[in-house]
Amino acid sequence: MHPAISVKNLSKRYDSGFEALKNVNLEIEHGEIFALLGPNGAGKTTLISTICGIVNPTAGSILVDGNDIVKDYRAARSLIGLVPQELTTDAFETVWATVSFSRGLFGKPANPAYIEQTLKSLSLWDKKDDKIMTLSGGMKRRVLIAKALSHEPQILFLDEPTAGVDVELRKAMWDVVRSLRESGVTIILTTHYIEEAEEMAERVGVISHGEIILVQDKTELMSKLGQKQMTLHLQERIGGIPGSLSAYSLDISDDGEMLTYTYDTHGERTGITALLADLSQAGVKFKDLTTSQSSLEDIFVSLVGKPK
Amino acid sequence: MNIHAVRAIYGFEMARAWRTLSQSIVSPVLSTSLYFIVFGSAIGSRITEIDGVSYGSFIVPGLIMLSLLTQSIANASFGIYFPRFTGTIYEVLSAPVSYVEILIGYVGAAATKSIILGLIILATAGLFVELEIAHWFWMLLFLVMTSVTFSLFGFILGIWADGFEKLQIVPLLVITPLTFLGGSFYSIDMLPPFWQTVTLFNPVVYLISGFRWSFYEIADVNIGVSVGMTLLFLAACLIAVWWIFRTGYRLKS
Ligand SMILES: Nc1ncnc2c1ncn2[C@@H]1O[C@H](COP(=O)(O)OP(=O)(O)OP(=O)(O)O)[C@@H](O)[C@H]1O
Ligand SMILES: [Mg+2]
């Protein structure tokens, strides 16, 4: 069986000369929820748009369930539903008309019962005869999801589905995603938030500056991302780390006024209590204490090895 | 062939026309009616017959062409420009449709609207002036060919344009002068010889001449030449569209 999506040596250089994707390789299996994680401008939307046929690749190839997106574009695209990042909807159409339009566009015969069910699952049923421009932003996003689902795709792309969405809708959205997943739909979503990837995805791909830096099972990644630092501001500067504390992963600042302890929040024990006890044993006193979690940015830097 | 998709695009575009009925049908009919009243009845009664046809009747084919051209271009260009402008074009680009299907949907709908409009104006004209149509077949053929060709032209314009100004300026600065100077209101041989020659470089002359011939069997240029020139322009538009789709020009980055 072919993977749901197979991207090989994909590069994209925009007309401006900007290289948005650099030799990307990625495989996504059938039926998984895959999160593409990366900061603004990393190339997430470019990657999705290229797979969906909206952006022309500069080099490389993409197969969707074994169908080349250029040569067998009909077969490839029929399998895909796309919810774009931007709220791009018609203004004057009704919800019902625009969702029916999408179904037809993707080559499916009309099926009012299916569309009714889709609208109901997204709590849009009572809005079906309303013009789209009269809907709120969150409802428009749901309309876009309904459009993407209208032709019963096997693969669903959600480009930042939770941007501008309140907590309740977010929960409702994840419910829809989970039930789609149960019915065997492959889901690829993009996000800026580690927590979101953590909650939803089974595998996570991290993308930065157009490169896929790593692809990993969520659980593995989370332990990697779960590092925290505790910084102790000392009352008196010390010349070096006391020998009795060598068992801890401690760093000393150049001026000898700060000690930084790195620990794993996912570990059974963080070692903080023991460290503090040993510090006072060694006679090291501190006037202040701060903790910080590695930000996504820090993690990128540590993954890539150097800031770009 | 993705018939459902063609039907979806075509239906979407026709629904848009229905929503904007006053703009797409009522206003062109109204403005042409005014032409008939002013030129056909009021001034026309003082103008002698041209080639044995009363002036009011003489201008009917040209006026229909004028509406056909402007409306085809306006409709088709707007139909494709607006989704580009709002971003909804993403859906068509990501759908399993071929370019031919996209074209049939958009251009087919625009041409259909123009043809309907042309027939309505024709019927309206019949209320004001005496009409005779010598060659129904050729009349309809010119109506259809012109609508299709200029809808294609509008489609190209809608893809090329990167702002609403360009969308409006081309019909205003290019098409309207060409139509007025294309013999809508006069016969070419009423012009001084020099301008007669210049006029032959205006493609609209051939359309109006051929169209008028199908009504009254009077023409500025040979009917065969008219058909040939129209087909030539159609072919030019098709080549431009083919190139646009092949390269993704202004549709895909
Ligand atoms: N049409 C374009 N022409 C030139 N550069 C572009 C174009 N579209 C995107 N880019 C550039 O490509 C890079 C990647 O953009 P992309 O939209 O893929 O990022 P992203 O990961 O989706 O970001 P975000 O999280 O902000 O949505 C950005 O630097 C962007 O400026
Ligand atoms: Mg994006």
The answer to whether the beta carbons of residues B214 and B135 sit under 8 Å apart is: yes
**Residue B92 with chain A: CB contacts under 8 Å:** 105
Contact yes or no for A147 and B96 at CB 8 A: no
The answer to whether the beta carbons of residues A17 and B214 sit under 8 Å apart is: no
The rounded distance, in Å, linking the Cα atoms of B109 and B155 is 11
**pTM for the whole structure:** 0.85
Is it the case that residue A248 has pLDDT exceeding 70?
A: yes
Considering the domain architecture, whether residues A197 and A59 belong to the same structural domain is answered as yes
**What would the mean pLDDT of B149-153 be, rounded to a whole number?**
96
Is it the case that residue A225 has pLDDT exceeding 70?
A: no
Is it the case that residue A300 has pLDDT exceeding 70?
A: no
Residue B88 is nearest to which of A14, A77, A90, comparing CB atoms? A90
Distances (CA, A) of B97 to A107, B3, B35, B56, B242: 8, 9, 43, 47, 15
Is it the case that residue A294 has pLDDT exceeding 70?
A: no
Structure tokens at A54: 């909206």
CATH number, domain of A155, equals 3.40.50.300
- Quick one: pLDDT band at residue A116, thresholds 50, 70, 90? very high
Going by C-beta distance under 8 Å and a sequence separation of 6 or more, which residues neighbour residue A152?
A108, A114
Give the chain A residue whose CA is nearest to the CA of B105: A105
Is A253 inside any structural domain? yes
The rounded distance, in Å, linking the Cα atoms of A48 and A41 is 13
More confident residue, B15 or A306: B15
Q: Does residue B160 belong to the interface with chain A, where contact is any CB pair within 8 Å? A: no
Q: Which ligand is closest in space to the CA of residue A191? A: 1
The rounded distance, in Å, linking the Cα atoms of B46 and B184 is 18
Residue A220 has a pLDDT of: 75
Residue B78 has a pLDDT of: 93
Considering the domain architecture, whether residues A85 and A157 belong to the same structural domain is answered as yes
Q: Which one of A45, A48, A158 would you pick to mutate in the ligand 1 pocket, going by the greatest count of ligand atoms within 8 A of its CB?
A: A45
Residue A244 has a pLDDT of: 84
Nearest by Cα to A43 from A215, A210, A163:
A210
- Quick one: pLDDT band at residue A308, thresholds 50, 70, 90? very low
Considering the domain architecture, whether residues A100 and A138 belong to the same structural domain is answered as yes
**What would the mean pLDDT of A249-253 be, rounded to a whole number?**
87
CA distance B30 to chain A (A): 26
Angle between helix A95-105 and A112-121 (nearest 10): 120
Q: Which one of A16, A46, A160, A162 would you pick to mutate in the ligand 1 pocket, going by the greatest count of ligand atoms within 8 A of its CB?
A: A46
Distances (CA, A) of A291 to A223, A287, B163: 18, 14, 52
Is it the case that residue B73 has pLDDT exceeding 70?
A: yes
Is it the case that residue A34 has pLDDT exceeding 90?
A: yes
- Quick one: pLDDT band at residue A270, thresholds 50, 70, 90? confident
- E strand or H helix at A260: strand A258-264
Is A112 inside any structural domain? yes
Q: Which of residues 42-61 of B touch A (CB under 8 A)?
A: none
Give the end-to-end CA distance of chain B in Å, rounded to a whole number: 26
Q: State whether residue A214 is helix, strand or coil.
A: strand
The rounded distance, in Å, linking the Cα atoms of A306 and A51 is 29
Is A299 inside any structural domain? no
Residue A224 has a pLDDT of: 66
The rounded distance, in Å, linking the Cα atoms of B79 and B12 is 10
Is A110 inside any structural domain? yes
Residue B19 is nearest to which of A80, A88, A92, comparing CB atoms? A92
Looking at the DSSP bridge assignments, the partners of residue A234 are: A286
Give me the residue label for tokens 């332990």. Answer: A223
What values do phi and psi take at A237, rounded to 5?
Answer: -70, 150
The answer to whether the beta carbons of residues B83 and B89 sit under 8 Å apart is: yes
In percent, how much of chain A has pLDDT > 90?
54
More confident residue, A18 or B44: A18
Residue A298 has a pLDDT of: 63
Give the range among A13-17, A244-248, B11-15, B224-228 with minimum mean pLDDT: A244-248
Q: ipTM higher than 0.85?
A: yes
Tell me how far the alpha carbon of residue A45 lies from the centroid of ligand 2, in angstroms.
4
Considering the domain architecture, whether residues A105 and A231 belong to the same structural domain is answered as no
User: Residue ranges per domain, chain B?
Assistant: 3-247
The answer to whether the beta carbons of residues B114 and B77 sit under 8 Å apart is: no
Radius of gyration of chain B (CA): 19
Q: State whether residue A204 is helix, strand or coil.
A: strand
In percent, how much of chain B has pLDDT > 70?
100
User: Which residues span the domain enclosing A44?
Assistant: 5-222
Average pLDDT, chain A: 89
Q: Which long-range contacts (CB under 8 A, 24 or more apart) does B29-38 make?
A: B29/B117, B29/B120, B29/B121, B29/B124, B31/B67, B32/B63, B32/B64, B32/B66, B32/B67, B32/B121, B32/B124, B32/B125, B33/B124, B33/B128, B35/B59, B35/B63, B36/B60, B36/B63, B36/B124, B36/B125, B36/B128, B36/B129, B37/B128
Considering the domain architecture, whether residues A127 and A208 belong to the same structural domain is answered as yes
Considering the domain architecture, whether residues A271 and A214 belong to the same structural domain is answered as no
pLDDT digits (tens, 9 = 90+) for B4-38: 999 999 999 999 888 887 777 888 888 888 888 88
CATH number, domain of A270, equals 3.30.70.100
Contact yes or no for A90 and B86 at CB 8 A: yes
Distances (CA, A) of A184 to A4, A68, A154: 11, 22, 7
In percent, how much of chain A has pLDDT > 70?
93
DSSP A124-142: -GGGTTSBGGGS-HHHHHH
Tell me how far the alpha carbon of residue A78 lies from the centroid of ligand 1, in angstroms.
25
Tell me how far the alpha carbon of residue A211 lies from the centroid of ligand 2, in angstroms.
14
Considering the domain architecture, whether residues A218 and A231 belong to the same structural domain is answered as no
Is A300 inside any structural domain? no
Q: Which ligand is closest in space to the CA of residue A21? A: 1
Give me the residue label for tokens 């204490």. Answer: A289
More confident residue, A217 or A82: A82
CA distance B34 to chain A (A): 32
The rounded distance, in Å, linking the Cα atoms of A20 and A210 is 5
Residue B65 has a pLDDT of: 92
Residue A43 has a pLDDT of: 95
DSSP A91-104: SSSBHHHHHHHHHH
pLDDT digits (tens, 9 = 90+) for A48-96: 999 999 999 999 999 999 999 999 999 999 999 999 999 888 888 999 9
Residue A307 has a pLDDT of: 44
Q: Does residue B5 belong to the interface with chain A, where contact is any CB pair within 8 Å? A: yes
Domain count, chain A: 2
Is it the case that residue A304 has pLDDT exceeding 80?
A: no
Going by C-beta distance under 8 Å and a sequence separation of 6 or more, which residues neighbour residue B105?
B5, B6, B8, B9, B10, B12, B13
Considering the domain architecture, whether residues A69 and A179 belong to the same structural domain is answered as yes
Q: For ligand 1, which residues put their CB under 6 angstroms from it? A: A 14, 16, 18, 20, 38, 40-46, 85; B 253
Quick one: how far is CA A59 from the chain centroid?
24
Is it the case that residue A7 has pLDDT exceeding 90?
A: yes
What values do phi and psi take at A12, rounded to 5?
Answer: -135, 120
Residue A102 is nearest to which of B15, B91, B98, comparing CB atoms? B91
